[in-house]
Every structure is written in structure tokens, then in C-alpha cells.
Structure 1
């Protein structure tokens, strides 16, 4: 008859029930679904970060605040649209041929750099006019307010505005020595000023208009916005669209912040790692669960367990392991007889036996820590030697224990 011995958690091996398997499957499905959800959120964050990296009025951005639609319409009309992200490249392109420069706000450039950038352009279209660019390029024009959301007729002699018709302006400006179109809220939505170029033949035309309210992807198809944009930007065969950035600057360098140095994918990866750690913790916690006490099928005495293990060692032929266990037990018992710690080494025990005149140091060391036996006969001989050494130590150190 075979007897099944229990371990730490019980003696019986219980097959998982249907409810247990169902609960495990539901747990795994929940974990996988959670990881997929976190991945989708992370991907959306990365996509949103990449989208936000493109500033508004970017001609390569399909976001609502981008201007890709306008750039493609200009290209379809035969205009050579050159998108540049360096002010030096933009200046070089403008020097090659008569071209229109589309200039958003460029806070990373100095006044000198902006003046040098716009000087070779035949036309300059300010699509995000700020106080500095208006002062440098539009002869001191200023923004004076925000118009109501109402259609406004051009009411000026600028051909491009007359062909475009009515628009719904937002920011309005005033300026001197300039044609002013679309009056609203005490200002004008479009300023057009022509000046004689001092360092080149001909004139330069500067237009100022709130492109963020008229020329972006979400507003371009409304009213006369598209016609006005094509009229202002399509006057020359070449259009140089400068897209400023923080890295393109001629100002003194400043130390970037941690957010600027961190790639956009770092935050989603951190969120995904935290979610995976929480899922792993929940999984491990559910897997172990509470301890369950179980009845042993039989009660087995310790002596029978020891003998059973001995038979297993004998059947496996692992004499080296069996000899190591025998030597360890004998060394611990002899060390305690000698008044030593149970963790004393074989050398320390052999020295103590030699001092007590129980055995020579070499013989004791050979018995307690010699070469492992290679056969069952050698193992039996080692067991006899260990037993005799232990008996001699007990007789020499505690003779009263051997008295009849």
C-alpha cells in the first residue's frame, strides 16, 4: 500500500474544480484587458504628444489648428510651397528667387534675425502678428482688440480682399500708411502695406492677418477665408513657409527644462510599467491565496519517515549525499559533547578531539571531512567509523553516561 505524505499545505492533491478554473480564466482575461487598455491610452498620449509638438499654423499638421489643407491647396494651384524649419534656410530660399514669406510669431529669434529673414522676401504674410513683428515689419502697427463673431465686408481697395468677400475676423489691428480692410471693433482684420526696398529693386508687400482664426484646417472652408489666403500667399510662384521652433534660435542658449529633454514616449511607458506592476502584484496575490488546513490520510511517525528517506537514498545510489548527511549529524553531536557550537567545522571538532586524547587530528579529520564514499560498502564502513568515533568521544568525555 502506498502512502501519500503531505507537505506544508496538506497531504492531498486536489484537482482544480470547474469554478476555480473559471475564476483563473476570468482573472487572466481581466489582466490582459487592463494591459490592452493601458496600451491604448499610452498610444493616444504618444500620438497626442506628437500632435501637440507641431505648433498651431504648422503647414504639415492635420490637427484642427494646423494649416496642411491650405498648403496643399496652394500646391494644387501651382505654387511651389517650401516648408522650412530653420531661419537660415528660409533666408537662403528667399534670396534665390522672388518669393512670398509666411511668417508666424518667432519668439526664439532676435529682432536682427527677423529683420534679416524678411529683408529678401518680395511679399511677407504675418499670419500670427504680435507687437514685436508688427513694430519691426509693419511700421508700428498694433493689435487693438477682438471682433465679434459676425460677417464683415472688406470695404477696401485691396484686390485680394475684394475677391474673397466677407469673413468673420477675430483679432483686429490699426496701422499707419497701410491699406486697412474688414473694419470691426475699432480696428481692421487685414493690413496691407507696400514699401520700397532699400537694399533691392522693387517694393515689398507686408500683410498682417489673424491666420489662427481664418486659415487653419477647421476654419479654412468658412466664408471667404480660403480665397483670402490664396490671394495673399499665391501672388508669387514660390512660397517659403517658415515654421519656428525653440531649437531654431540665435539668442543666448538657456538650460532646457526636464520636460523639454524628456521624449514624449517616456510618460506612457512609465504608466504602462506601473500598471503591469500592479497587475503582477494582484496576480501573485490571487495565486497564493489563504492557507487551507487539510486532514492527513494517515498518521506517520517520524522514525518511519526517516527510514523511508534512507531507503530512497539507498535506492538512488547517491552515497555522497548520504555520507554528507551522516557526517553532518555526527559532527554536530560530537561538537556538543565537546562543548562546541553545533555549527563548528570539521577541523575545529578534530582539533578538540585531539586535545581530549580521543583520536588523532588526522584520523578525526579524515572521518568527519574526508573523501566521499563511492559504493554502498564504503558508506557502511564510514557509518561504522563515525559511530565508533562518537562512542569514543562520549566514553572519554562523559564516562558516567556509559556506566551500568
Structure 2
């Protein structure tokens, strides 16, 4: 038997021995080089992402000349370029003021990020200024007029300005009441106008609320495009200033903080109290040593546990719980006495006891599995009946054993 099994074992082990060729481990230098390449790739991606985020212009805001969104003004800027006019987008008021000159139109929306002085300085730097959106603040600063109610009807030029003569009617979103010496175009029946123009001091200043007139979404409606070209395509060069919070000169006072309101000695005092608390914990804290096994000083008997639970049940006046405990004990003892499974249900025990006592099946179901007792009187009655049942079953089983 040994001689036969030895060749079999050698044959079975031969392929395993021949196939245990471990691959050549990768050297430490190769692993380091791989991690260096991965880190360099991640750093390159992060640098490129930060550069794109830092250099990408913001396309938010109303009438942005580089935004193709419905509220942007890229379509109007492209129409102006098609007329041979150079359009330069400036995102800094300093760059915009330096770029304007003779034959240049300064185009801007409401400079809400600039203070009054900064906005007036920027407007004073150009000889021709077009405000495409306005606010009550700009009307007050420039002295062009006041807000007026919008009638909702289309309005034509009806003014003596030649560049607006070929512009059709428009539906203005906002109308103004012109001030003295200010020309008004596109008036409604009440005399309110959509376009205001002032030529005082050798400077041409035009104001129109064009948030809806010159947006990409509404530029093709009625005479909106013609009005935009009449405003922006009159010079060889346009400097379009886009306001942003990065170019704002508005400064505010910093709110008072809890640190600035507290005295200087509060922080050192708090630190000293914390250090004192840590030192007290380290000094008086419990030193935990190894666990020590100790035997219990007393032994609790099962009868004492039973009597204690009985006293707690009696003190709580919980007849239902006590009745369930009595029934459980009776079912357990009867199943053992009747040679049933320890897991026999109350119904099975009741059927077996009925057969032994020769009483109809089902007569003991309510006794062993019925509703719980509602009062102490019912509990006492239940305990008496269960004791009688156990005694009857014990006598029946004992009688069967002594019979031949």
C-alpha cells in the first residue's frame, strides 16, 4: 500500500513544484518613481484647474458683452463689431478710464459696485458715455431726470436726434421724466421717455434701461437691435466696462467680534484655568492598574431570587404578569410529567392532560392559555385551579405506573 501511494504522491506534487515560479518583485526605486509620477500628475491637474478658475472671466451679471446666456449682451457686441467698431471689454475701472479717448464710447451698466465718486470719475473720463441700465442713484448723480410710470405701449423715436431717426418702435421696460435741458426720445402719451440724452459740458451722456431691450433673448424684437447700433456704433471704438465686486471701492466697517469686546486678560486667564484643570486631573486622577479577579462574597440561592421576584410582582400589583409566570411553570412541569417536549405549547400540554384525565379535549385550553387574570381574586382562583390540575395529572400518571 505504501509502495503504491508514494509514486502517486510524487506525481501529484511534481506540477506544483514546477509551477512555483514567483514573479520578480518590483524594486523600491520603481515604487518610489511610480508614486512620484502620480503626485506630479495630481499637482499638474490642480495647477491647471486653479489657473482656469483664476483666469476665466465671470459671465454673470446683466448685459455682459461676453455672456451667451439669455440675459447677456454678446449678440449686441457682435453686431457692433460687424459694423467695423472695435469693442474692448474692461473689468477694471482703472483700465477703462485709461482706454477711453477721442473717438471712443464708454459703455457701462449700472456701476453698483462703485461709490458715487468712483462712478462719476469714470464717467468724467470719457466724452461719450452710454448707460445701458440705470438706477435711481445714477439718475440723482447725473441729474438726468426721475422715474416715471410705464404705460406698456410701444413708442417711436419722435425726437430731433438724427441717429434715432431710422429706429423703429420699442417696448421699454422703464421710462423716465427728463430734467430741464435733457433731450428725451421714445416718449409715450404722458411725456415719459425711454432714452435720455444730455450734452452739457461737451460730453454726450445717454441713458436707457436696456436690460430687456438689448439682452440676447430680446434683441431681435421690434427696433431693439437698431437702437443698440444707434447707441454703440457711432464711434470707431467702444470700451465696455463690466462692474464686479473685485473692482469695488466700497469699504465698510468691520463688525465688533467677541474677541475685540473682551479685555486682554480674559484669554490668558482662560488658558491658565485650562492648564490648571489638566494638572489637577493628572495629579488626582485614578491610576488604572491591571484587572484583579475577585470571588463574590456571598452565594445567592435560587429560592431567594424567586421570592424576591414574587415580592416585586406583589408590590406592583401585576396580576397579569404573575398569572403568566404561574401558567408557564405549570406548563413546564406538566410537559415533563406527561413526557412531552420541553418546547411543547400550552395547547399541546392541555390536549395531553385531557387525554390522561379522560376529559373532553379543549376543556383545559382556557386554563393553561386563556386570558390573564384581571385582579388578585382571579389570580388566586387561577393558582388554585392550576394546582388541582397538577395534582390530578400526578395522580393519573402515578396510577398508570402501579397498574400491572
Q: TM-score, normalised by structure 2?
A: 0.47
Between structure 1 and structure 2, the one with the greater Rg is 2
Using the size of structure 1 for normalisation, the TM-score is 0.47
Greater RCO (Cα-Cα under 8 Å, separation 6 or more): 1
